[in-house]
A and B are shown apart, each in its own frame.
Chain A
């Protein structure tokens, strides 16, 4: 009953004129950034952070969340119609989606993708609503040792299940952690790495780092490429799937929901990983797996459902424990921190109107997105006609003015530019930059919990194995590290083949 009454009050918050409007703007902007190659959901969210300053925190998070799950809807459009993934989670959709377009079934693929996204997104909100308060209540019993262990395992999982290998993600995490230590120490007030620069006394701002590495870095990489493209036309009547296509999609949509929701709870690039795993599940489940890649509707329905379900469930650890499991929740956390609100175990109890307002708005947003992405898909496709050479100066200008608007600091603009270059360089070197931003946000929290644990135990490390929850989490963390070491040391198939060919 508690859940229903809370949801009722959530709908009262979400259904005010202002919040419906913000939800619509978020979903619309999310679909646009999802459709446009070169502008991902991260850049989309960071670019709209400045627009939230004048809003209340509930409105701000409703709009930013709308961009996140909206981008998952929009990302499939270019994958299906043009073989260009609008964002990384839609890469796998290209395989069968584009083949369907070549066969004249692109409209049906778009329709099934939108319906699957709606089912996945709606079930994920249901899971968020039921699981997050339970998890937050559980986490309230945690002391510093347990919180440290939770954050430690989150870091290791981020490395293990992220877009790169563990040892590829580790240095990026370390750089992020190191950047998080710049400024006055929160426990002693002592300054670290400030070199007498007053602007660094409060630490490096999250926004210049996020805007620089994620938005500016993405743009700098994208302007290297020529973006001339052919855009097929989609007619409304072509959107209807045949009965066989619809029947074949039901199973993948529900399996994709389960896979996506579970993967979304784990730290890492959950929405990307979930679509790949869902595709593999469908291929294994199929009677004729060899037909995958030639235009099977199951190859579109499963992954597109999964990435939306993952986007919803990624909110569970973020809102209930204050652990952003991916870069997009991390950027949303920055927005909440700017409004003076810190997600964590006390968040739902202290700010029920924000949490339940967000949950209710996600139900509304998923319906808005279904409407936006079915009949209006042709309009979004036309957005691709805006040349990127006109779009990118506007994106950079919004990044600059958005960062400037927080503290009116020219120093932060220089930081933004510096981190933009760093983001560009790491992209060119094929290292994922998102873990750096995540680590920078979580770093100060993990440091405080580590030091508080040692202080409360009188300097004894035994606190980490005397408390059962901390012990379990640390043992799992150690096992994960060992698994990663084994994974990186074991000979690959190519190495075996080389040895065998040499012996022969």
Chain B
């Protein structure tokens, strides 16, 4: 599949989603256009655009194709980062910022960046503690509190 054709599928998903959910919003009249008219119009343009990209890239020989094996290889690190970040976000309220961010950084530095255990731990504590001090203490951002003083 060509890269453009893969992109056209994303456009179609957004366009069809917008179309389905905007037809139920009141359209109003020309004298007083309702809140549905603008998203409906955009969704139609997006669907047409996605369909045009899909058709235009179907017949011609793709200049650059998506190699799913290559994507699997190169996307390992971004996927690891996304997964670890998701866990951090979901657990942040329970662990608190100071502990959570240090654990999060430690995991990233150990698993993704491949630092040694002690190096990863040192950087994680320094960066996590530093960001907690900068945002929480200096800028007064209300960060989630965890168990104890963490």
Contacts and interface: CB of A to CB of B under 8 A. Distances in A.
A167 B112 CA distance: 37
Interface in A403-418: 404-405, 408, 410, 413-414, 417
Interface string B70-110: 01001101100110011011101100010001001100110
A174 B45 contact: yes
Contacts of B49: 167, 170-171, 174
B113 A390 contact: yes
A108 interface: no
A467 interface: no
Contacts of A188: 26, 34-35
Interface string A8-20: 0000000000000
B118 interface: no
Contacts of B46: 171, 174-175, 178
Given A188-B35, A393-B127, A431-B7, A167 B52 contact: yes
A417 B86 contact: yes
Nearest to A402: B135
A416 B78 CA distance: 15
Contact of B31 (A420, A430, A454): A454
A192 interface: yes
Interface residues of A, number: 57
A209 to B, nearest CB: 14
A424 B97 CA distance: 26
B141 interface: yes
Interface stretch (A37-45, A49-57, A135-143): A49-57
A414 B82 CA distance: 11
B78 A455 contact: no
B18 A414 contact: no
A414 B88 CA distance: 10
B35 A389 contact: no
A224 B72 CA distance: 11
A441 to B, nearest CB: 15
Contacts of A219: 81
A426 B18 CA distance: 19
A104 interface: no
Given A192-B35, A223-B77, A451-B38, A393 B105 contact: yes
Residue of B35, B52, B64 with most partner-chain A CB within 10 A: B35
Contact of B50 (A171, A181, A413): A171
A446 to B, nearest CB: 8
Interface string A454-465: 110011100000
Given A224-B75, A417-B89, A424-B78, A178 B139 contact: no
A388 to B, nearest CB: 9
A220 interface: yes
Given A220-B78, A220-B81, A429-B7, A389 B112 contact: yes
A421 interface: yes
A181 B39 contact: yes
Contact of B139 (A51, A185, A400): A51
A393 B91 CA distance: 18
A429 B32 CA distance: 40
Contacts of B26: 188, 190
Contacts of A404: 141, 143
15 contacts: A50-B135, A171-B46, A174-B11, A174-B42, A177-B38, A178-B42, A223-B78, A392-B108, A393-B104, A414-B89, A417-B82, A425-B10, A426-B10, A451-B38, A454-B31
Interface of A: 50-51, 53-54, 167, 170-171, 174-175, 177-178, 181, 185, 187-188, 190, 192-193, 219-221, 223-224, 389-390, 392-394, 396-398, 400-401, 404-405, 408, 410, 413-414, 417, 420-421, 424-426, 428-431, 447, 450-451, 454-455, 458-460
